[in-house]
Amino acid sequence: MDDIATEKHPSSRYAEIQRDIESKITTGEWGPGTRIPPERELVDIYNCSRMTVNKALSSLAASGMISRKRRSGSFVAPPRIEEPLMHIQDIRAEVLAIDRTYSFEITDRSIRKATDALDARHVGVPVGTRLLTLEVMHYADNLPFTIESRQINLDAVPQVERLQFKDEPPGSWLLHNIPFTEGEHSIRAVSADAILARRLQVVERTACISIARRTWLDGELITFVRLIYPGDRHRFVVRFKPSTSPGAS
């Protein structure tokens, strides 16, 4: 490649390759529909292993910047459709919408009680409420897409206690089966520490988006969930109208 040095630590090297290809796309050098050079050519261009190239392309595919098609190769994807902030996204539908293969894994499942006032206030339930807690990893083309940490109020949704979510992830099941009357998003940026970076397969200190969401039905909490995405794999958009007050900005 142009100026990328010979192979160093694989995790930092794949990130360099990813950034270089991203730059070609965002600057317009490679427009929508442009075919990305095949992996064997990229190995020569970047003087690295095929595994490193594949990881960079997989990450770009998960972010929606490129589309990978069997037997045809990789292509610059058209601009991604952005979801409004007030909409609760179905992660499975989000991955399928960018032409990726979706899968998920429940890595932890337990039932607990909100044991004290601080814990109960954090979740949004009375002390003593029984909660189904779930840790879920969502994948796009076998690359981690987002980590989900969810707590479901068993007083509000008692039927989930017996569900194993083998075929449908918890968020999708809730959207399809449980109505809600109010929702709340809280969004902040976080930097991936060593543990989070390893789980998401990103470089340490990668910027990530943390989304905390609560939904209620007639004032009773249904679920509290936290989703953590690598920053390049998710985007929220808010559409609004000018305030009627003068001087609003």
Task: Identify the CATH number of the domain in which residue 45 sits.
Answer: 1.10.10.10
Q: Final residue of a domain: which of 53, 76, 99?
A: 76
Residues 215 and 106 in one domain: yes
How many domains are contained in the chain? Answer: 2
Q: Enter the pTM of the model.
A: 0.66
For residue 97, what pLDDT is reported? 75
Residues of the chain with pLDDT below 70 are 1-11, 79-87, 232-249
Which residue range is the domain that position 20 belongs to? 10-76
In a domain, 124, yes or no: yes
Residues 117 and 172 in one domain: yes
C-alpha 221/C-alpha 142 separation (Å) is 33
Q: What's the token pair of residue 59?
A: 């990450």
For residue 32, what pLDDT is reported? 81
CA-closest candidate to residue 75, choices 90, 83, 65: 65
In a domain, 242, yes or no: no
CA-closest candidate to residue 147, choices 156, 163, 134: 134
Distances (CA, A) of 162 to 20, 92, 148, 172: 48, 22, 20, 16
Q: What's the token pair of residue 224?
A: 């509290």
Residues 101 and 211 in one domain: yes
Residues 165 and 188 in one domain: yes
For residue 9, what pLDDT is reported? 55
Q: Final residue of a domain: which of 76, 99, 131?
A: 76
Q: What is the CATH number of the domain that holds 227?
A: 3.40.1410.10
Q: How many CB atoms lie within 10 A of CB 137?
A: 16
Amino acid type, 97:
A
C-alpha 36/C-alpha 48 separation (Å) is 17
For residue 245, what pLDDT is reported? 45
C-alpha 190/C-alpha 177 separation (Å) is 32
For residue 1, what pLDDT is reported? 42
